[in-house]
Amino acid sequence: MSEEKNFVNKTEKEVSAWAIAGRTAPFVAMAGMLVTAIFADTWLTVYAFTVIVIWVLVSVAWWWWALTKILRVVRMMLSTKVKFDEVKEELKSLKNDMGDRKRRE
């Protein structure tokens, strides 16, 4: 259970970091574009190219991060199902060992 709790805490921190980056990075890039356009318009093309390259790299990194998390969640769900099926079989076995007694009404 501790591993699952660590996974949840780590994922919450990572999601929080991605959310902050997703809210702030576009505005920082646009502000940089404005500043470049006003004060150094000869560098505008270089700045725009750099922003696009960084955007693509971050998008790919986020995509692989998301896929990894989804895979881990699916594995945890399947593991839980297997454990649940084992408990279910143990309860059936226990019922058979105890005999088929009628319940009190």
What does the pLDDT read at residue 5?
86
Q: What is the DSSP string of 23-65?
A: HHHHHHHHHHHHHHHHH-GGGHHHHHHHHHHHHHHHHHHHHHH
> What backbone phi and psi angles, to 5 degrees, belong to 93?
-65, -40
Provide the residue ranges of all domains of the chain, joining segments of one domain with +.
2-98
CA-based nearest residue to 33, from 54, 22, 48, 55 = 48
Cα separation, 23 vs 18, whole angstroms: 9
pLDDT tens for 25-80 read 999 999 999 999 999 999 999 999 999 999 999 999 999 999 999 999 988 888 88
DSSP 1: -
The residue among 10 and 1 whose pLDDT is bigger is: 10
User: Under a CB-based contact definition with an 8 Å cutoff, are residues 88 and 80 in contact?
Assistant: no
DSSP 105: -
> pTM value?
0.70
